[in-house]
């Protein structure tokens, strides 16, 4: 992959994994994902890690996964939606590469995440309200971590990947 690693942050349902896979394919890099690495290392799904060990233990493992990406080159790294809630992750994100924040409006996020039940934090009596609350607390954290922000609301994954590549080429040291 020419150019720097790329890191994708953003709320659940912002398209980090789908867009990340496309970006890696387009740029000739490898796609990596903190959630996938945590699950692989634990040998159990995220819902089970939360249920058996609790959220703090999940966060500890998430930071470990993120730290392992700082030693890699030629990667597009997707991260879990809560990555910015652990302050120690901020310098790690920056160390991996330019940080791209994928955003979407609340309505769109709700529609996207309603399609599956794999997210323990949204197993609440009122997921819509949970999303609103989490978004409100996290928005400033994503903003502080981001080098570039791309709105995914009315875009396909392919369109988002195109925008990310175009903007990244202009903003970050890129050696075609």
- Residue 28, CB-side half-sphere exposure with 13 Å CA sphere: 4
- Rg of the chain taking only CA atoms, in angstroms: 15
169: nearest Cα among 142, 153, 148: 148
Angle between helix 106-113 and helix 127-145 axes, rounded to 10 deg:
120
Q: How far is the CB of 176 from ligand S3P (least distance, A)?
A: 30
* Range in contact with ligand S3P (rule: CB under 6 A) among 63-71, 75-83, 125-133, 161-169: 75-83
Q: How far is the CB of 147 from ligand S3P (least distance, A)?
A: 19
- For ligand S3P, which is the closer residue by CB, 120 or 174? 120
CA distance linking residue 60 with residue 38, whole number of Å: 10
Q: Interface with ligand S3P includes 46 (CB under 6 A)?
A: yes
Q: How far is the CB of 148 from ligand S3P (least distance, A)?
A: 18
Among 4, 20, 29, 80, binds ligand S3P (CB under 6 A): 80
CA distance linking residue 125 with residue 130, whole number of Å: 9
Among 22, 35, 97, 104, binds ligand S3P (CB under 6 A): 35
Q: Within its chain, how far is the Cα of 107 from the centroid?
A: 19
- For ligand S3P, which is the closer residue by CB, 90 or 121? 121
- Per-residue x/- track, 112-141, ligand S3P (CB under 6 A): -------xxx--------------------
Among 3, 4, 29, 81, binds ligand S3P (CB under 6 A): 81
- List helix spans (H) across 43-156: 46-53, 55-69, 89-96, 106-113, 127-145
* Range in contact with ligand S3P (rule: CB under 6 A) among 65-73, 74-82, 100-108, 147-155: 74-82
Please state the φ and ψ torsions of residue 72, each to the nearest 5 degrees: -105, 155
Q: Interface with ligand S3P includes 82 (CB under 6 A)?
A: yes
Contacts of 24 (CB under 8 A, 6+ apart): 1, 30, 31, 75, 76
What is the contact surface with ligand S3P in residues (CB under 6 A)?
Answer: 12, 16, 35, 46, 80-82, 119-121
């Amino acid at each position: 992959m020419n150019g720097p690693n790329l890191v994708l942050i953003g709320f659940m349902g912002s398209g980090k994994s789908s867009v990340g896979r496309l970006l890696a394919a387009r740029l000739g890099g490898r796609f990596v994902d903190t959630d996938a690495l945590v699950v692989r290392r634990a040998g159990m799904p995220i819902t089970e890690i939360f249920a058996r060990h609790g959220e703090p233990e999940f966060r500890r493992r998430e930071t470990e996964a993120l730290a392992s990406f700082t030693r890699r080159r030629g990667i597009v790294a997707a991260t879990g939606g809560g990555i910015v809630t652990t302050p120690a992750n901020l310098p790690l994100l920056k160390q991996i590469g330019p940080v791209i924040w994928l955003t979407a409006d609340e309505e769109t996020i709700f529609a996207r995440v309603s399609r599956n039940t794999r997210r323990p934090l949204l197993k609440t009596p009122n997921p819509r309200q949970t999303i609103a609350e989490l978004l409100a607390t996290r928005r400033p954290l994503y903003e502080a971590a981001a080098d570039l922000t791309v709105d995914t609301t009315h875009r396909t994954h392919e369109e988002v990947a195109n925008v990310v590549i175009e903007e990244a080429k202009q903003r970050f040291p890129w050696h075609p």
